[in-house]
Chains A and B, each alone.
Chain A
Amino acid sequence: MDFDAIVVGGGHAGIEAGLALARLNYSTLFITQSLDTIGRLSCNPAVGGLSKGNIVREVDALGGEMARLIDGSMIQFRILNRSRGPAVQSPRAQADKNLYSKLAKMTLEKQDNLQLFQDTVVDILEDSTGHKCEGVVTERGRIFRSRVVVLTTGTFMEGRIFIGAFNQSSGRLGEPAAVGLGTALRQKGYTLGRLKTGTPARVKKSSLDFSQMEEQPGDELMQPFSFFREKSDRPQLSCHITYTNKKTHDIIRAHMHESPLYGGEIVGTGPRYCPSIEDKVVRFPDRERHQVFVEPEGLDTEEMYLNGISSSLPEIVQEEFLRTLPGLANLEIMRPGYAVEYDYIDPMQLLPSLESKRHEGLFMAGQTNGTSGYEEAAAQGLMAGINAAMKLQGKAPLVLSRAEAYTGVLIDDLVTLGTKEPYRMFTSRAEYRLSLRHDDADQRLFPYAEQLGLATEQMEDLFHKKKNGLEEIKELLRQRRVSGCYLRKHENLIPHEGKNCYMALKDPHVNLSHMDEAVPELENYPPAWLDHVELDVKYEGYVARQERQVARFKKMENILIPEGFDYSAAEGISMESREKMKTIQPRSVGQASRISGVRSSDIAVLTVLLNQGRNRSINNADK
């Protein structure tokens, strides 16, 4: 073997997979089409957002890199939805996209055990049985052998971009597609589909008139995404908001027939949650205007990103309608908006470890699996990297559950239900989202990083310092009482006189700032810890209410189905469900129950059969 592992693709998935494997001491070859595009933010220059910010922090807690990359390159930071739902609020940062990408490459270059190499993979190598992946073949005819391979091809596998009547084989504008691999995988029996996504135009900053737009500054306090970084100190830039109008919509309508989307050239399915401006105008004809965010792409670039108005209309049409927006009358387009269509692999062909069911040792992650978004890609990349390493160690894979991480929800949804449109995370996808806060991701997941060996000593110290700190704060709150003398300053405390501060804090009208006199020590703790405790206390009751459900959920997750379980002999299960279970190969009864169309009675029978197997083996052990 040339290497222990090969990672294909230098996007957000590939970065995490490569680093995890190398950090776990496996010699890893990192092949990507161009070393100059590693970690590129293909679409919007931002990382995080609702539920996505949680994912970034989960990646961080598990020893991944994404949080550190954005911490080192952010040019604006905000916590979203503070007012709406404290438990589902989430951080987002605007990124200096060139800096982000530069940091990513530097990190990879400095990593031991990781060899970077520029080439395009066109096929995978199989062993003589055809059931095991043993390496890759590249465009330039190189053959590399390894024990495991992680594929993260993003939007590049047989990618094609569209701008009006123009179309071209590309993964991103100006970057060639990775041609050949999709066909090779199809020939090896994989089911691949086509998906589509789009991006708006990039325009020149000095051609815009910001006085006609609303300014949207970042939060005053810039906070790091990484749990292992105490402060974030970066320059902050503002975004700006402008709106489309009737004129804009009229132009779009008049040219609709020139859109490759409506002309039928694009067959791939686009995301409903992130529609192009063409889609918005068609689907919501009554809306008088749509919001557009003008976002800086970096500190030292003139390029600005027009968020909310992605389009694949002809370039001149794009220019025409964009110029109708306040502040954009004289705009210069530097790069046009475009749509991209690409091959993705039906993720139901993967196990919950992200290993292929067809080829042992082959893992897949990122947009290749039908997702969209940097964060979704990174989380999968990290899990694929970790599980490829587990494979090399001969250990059981790490599968996060839906009750402990968005990452768990993401992968479970993909491998159990598949996807027909680019899959993006939403808080609504997580049944137990109150327990999946962004700020407690470390408490939920860092222990795994410690077990795996992805935690450094410095990380462990910080983690335990915080863990103890949180306990100290709670203890202080329990000990101190709300006494009469505080009530003058804080009327909200009146109903709680005599109670301890912990109980008083459960009142929605009371917050930690009201405790400044009762617990003056609070000011010695970092604000993030205080927020954390406040949410813990306020949501405790609600989280407890879910506990019964969670317990039931966990029980079903813990009834494991042995590998190679013979469904054809499970005659009590309906034919249709048996077929589905055979394809999905659920690892637990819980997962089986989420397969679409499987009925409760099938699950009942399955439980009985598994139980019988267990009884039998116990009996045999007795003998």
Chain B
Amino acid sequence: MNHEIYDPDDMIAALATPWAESAIAVIRVSGAGSIEAVDALFSGSVKLAGAEARKLTLGVIRNPETEEALDEVMAVPFKSPVSYTGQDGLELYCHGSLPGLQKILNLLFQSGFRQASPGEFTFRAFVNGKMDLTRAEAVQEIISAKSGKAQSMALSRLSGAVESRINTMKSNALGIAAAFEIQLDYPEDEVETPETPMGELLQIKEGLTELIASYQVGRIYQEGVVVALAGRTNAGKSSLFNLFLKEDRSIVSDIHGTTRDFLESWISLSGIPVRLYDTAGLRKSDDPIEEEGIRRTRQVLKNSHVILYLLDGEAGLSEDDEAVLARADNKRVVVWNKADIASQPCPEGAVPVSAVSGKGFQELEKVLKDKIFHDSSTTQDGPVIDSLRQKNLLERALYGVDKVIEGIHNGLPVDILAMDLSEVLQALGEITGEVSSSDIMEQMFSKFCVGK
């Protein structure tokens, strides 16, 4: 019904750094009144509204209702027009723990901020003339690149199971909407009053409650996903590890058994925090140190959600490889490394990649993401939602459903009930696709025989 519109005037907030465990994360807020709004949550040596612009102030973010201290942060206020967006705003340097960040963001959303849409800070910068635009397509590039990425991210975030759950709820809600609207669009004597859809409402309520709860249980975003690189020595595990990290962290050499102890690091895979392990190559060894390394490797492999099992394309499949592959393991992704100098064709089901040239890496990332979302080890408890945005929207929907139910109990007229219900549809629509008034009418005319 309502097209998502970039409104340059309300207060927005978003995490500016990648959604991953890190030392420091930056939350950015913008909009008139945003400094004052954060002041209400911030206790520091000075009030941010009075503080010198573009200077760090140390303080604590506290939930004013529960008094709970969420994090010690550094806040940097920016005063219009000297800021990125041209508006008043703030940057909050927080500790990069994901649960902590989520609490802070939640608090901001409860305090009048809205989650920034993709590219929205940049959009505001343009609107306020902060960016000199010589060519208009630059805007589109930035905005649509960001929203495109975010959209595809949002889509892939939504696992099939969750999507179908939400779609079912949405179409049930649409049915209820049709039953309400028909009463508002046709008089009493032409269309009988449909039964009060209490059963359907309770069902939607239950579904929403369950999904919202799944956020607390499942949330790969909070706990991260453990991914380990494994394979025989010299397969290129450390090379691939470095490629994921985009830095030379692990030692690479053509000597077999270079990596002795495992290494770990957080990376962000389109926003999913992944704890990636490089491990010691698997082979029989008499060296006690290497043996210990291999023992540790096995431990890591046991605890990981996904194993990227590397084959050495140059050397081909070893007996050990054959033995490993013979055992089924649904958390394994087989990678055909050194595809650039491979001696034989990539075996079926393996992902060809070159850790040296980077060829095939994007495809590997994609396969890995799919694995994370569709693998039972990360989403054991059935459908799980894993983005804060989805959770917020589901909560909005639940709030609307509760209002409708309460309204029915209080005997409120249908026009009010319909208004609350439209918020449910809008919130669900923002997750899986907009609901328009013609969708409702479609339902109306197909379900009810109307018209004098």
Contacts and interface: CB of A to CB of B under 8 A. Distances in A.
B5 A603 contact: yes
Task: Assign chain A's interface to a size class.
Answer: 35 or more
22 contacts: A50-B184, A81-B183, A81-B184, A84-B183, A84-B184, A86-B415, A274-B451, A291-B190, A293-B189, A426-B441, A428-B185, A431-B1, A434-B415, A549-B2, A571-B135, A572-B137, A600-B4, A604-B6, A604-B143, A605-B143, A607-B8, A609-B136
Interface in A486-514: 508-509
Interface of B: 1-9, 117, 119, 123, 126-127, 129, 133, 135-141, 143-144, 147, 181, 183-190, 193, 410-416, 418-419, 437, 440-441, 444-445, 449-452
Contacts of B7: 552, 555-556
Contact of A556 (B5, B126, B193, B416): B5
A511 B361 CA distance: 70
Contacts of B137: 571-572
User: Which of the listed residues A81, A87, A272, A428 has the most CB atoms from chain B within 10 Å of its own CB?
Assistant: A428
Interface in A458-508: 508
Interface of A: 44, 49-51, 80-81, 83-88, 92, 216, 241, 271-275, 280, 283-284, 287, 290-291, 293, 307-308, 426-429, 431, 433-434, 508-509, 542, 545-546, 549, 552-553, 555-556, 569-574, 593-594, 598, 600-605, 607-609, 611-612, 615
Contact of A273 (B1, B140, B416, B451): B451
Contacts of B133: 608, 612
Given A428-B437, A428-B441, A434-B419, A608 B187 contact: no
B439 to A, nearest CB: 10
A608 B452 CA distance: 49
Contact of B415 (A433, A546, A572): A433
Contacts of A271: 451
A226 B303 CA distance: 77
A284 B6 contact: no
A84 B188 contact: yes
Given A81-B188, A272-B445, A593-B5, A601 B143 contact: yes
Contacts of A433: 184, 415
Nearest to B125: A608
In the complex, the 4 A-B pairs of residues with the closest C-beta atoms, listed nearest first: A85-B415, A572-B140, A572-B136, A80-B187
Contacts of A612: 129, 133
A88 B415 contact: yes
A436 to B, nearest CB: 11
A483 B1 CA distance: 46
User: Which of the listed residues A44, A88, A284 has the most CB atoms from chain B within 10 Å of its own CB?
Assistant: A88
A611 B125 CA distance: 12
A49 B189 CA distance: 12
B411 A241 contact: no
Given A572-B136, A600-B3, A607-B6, A80 B188 contact: yes
Nearest to B4: A600
Contacts of B414: 84-85
Contact of B184 (A88, A604, A607): A88
A431 B2 CA distance: 9
Nearest to A80: B187
B411 to A, nearest CB: 6
Nearest to B1: A431
B449 A287 contact: yes
Given A84-B188, A307-B452, A431-B2, A542 B123 contact: no
Contact of A572 (B117, B139, B449): B139
A411 B193 CA distance: 31
Nearest to A607: B127
Contacts of B412: 508
B452 A600 contact: no
Contacts of A572: 135-141
B411 A293 contact: no
Given A84-B184, A608-B127, A600 B445 contact: no
B187 A50 contact: yes
Given A83-B188, A84-B414, A601 B129 contact: no
B119 A85 contact: no
A569 B136 CA distance: 9
Given A307-B452, A600-B3, A601-B144, A84 B181 contact: no
Given A84-B414, A601-B144, A50 B117 contact: no
Nearest to A87: B415
Contacts of A287: 449
B5 A552 contact: yes
Contact of A428 (B193, B410, B440): B440
Given A600-B4, A604-B123, 9 more contacts: A44-B452, A50-B184, A80-B188, A272-B445, A433-B415, A508-B410, A552-B7, A593-B3, A601-B119
B176 to A, nearest CB: 13
Given A603-B6, A611-B127, A49 B187 contact: yes
User: Which of the listed residues B135, B144, B444 has the most CB atoms from chain A within 10 Å of its own CB?
Assistant: B144
A542 B419 contact: yes
A426 B185 contact: yes
